[in-house]
Structure 1
Amino acid sequence: MGVGDKAKHAAENVGGKAKEVGGEVRGDKPLKNKGKRQQSKSKLKQAGENVKDSVKKK
């Protein structure tokens, strides 16, 4: 995949972190958990991109 997808996944990770921190500050546990899930999802997508890149190089 391209650089655009990588940037999209990184932005999703940042958004998830913002939700997590916002939930922590406000005491909103569901928002905090949603942020953590969003970050995990983003990290999995990034790992998939890394695998694809390593396969393409071979």
Structure 2
Amino acid sequence: MGKLTDKIKGNVNETIGKAKQKSDNPETRDEGAGQEVKGKAQQLKGKIKGALGDDI
């Protein structure tokens, strides 16, 4: 995957995770927190790929 793909997937996961955290269900809130972290990691991966020119 390229840097743009990683960044887009990261943004989507982060947004969905934030929305899930507003749920009344504690399990859904926990899932949302994890998904938000996953999204941030994907965005970081995209930034790293951009800095290294997709060589990783």
Q: Which range, TM-score by smaller chain?
A: 0.7 to 0.9
Q: What is the CA RMSD across the aligned residues, in angstroms? A: 1.3
Highest CA radius of gyration, 1 or 2? 1
The answer to which structure has the higher helix fraction is 1
Query: Gaps (5+ residues) in structure 1?
Result: none
TM-score, normalised to structure 2, is: 0.78
Pick 1 or 2: higher relative contact order, CA cutoff 8 A, min separation 6: 2
Distance 2:42 2:9 in 1: 10
TM-score, length of structure 1 as denominator length: 0.76
Seq. identity, % = 25
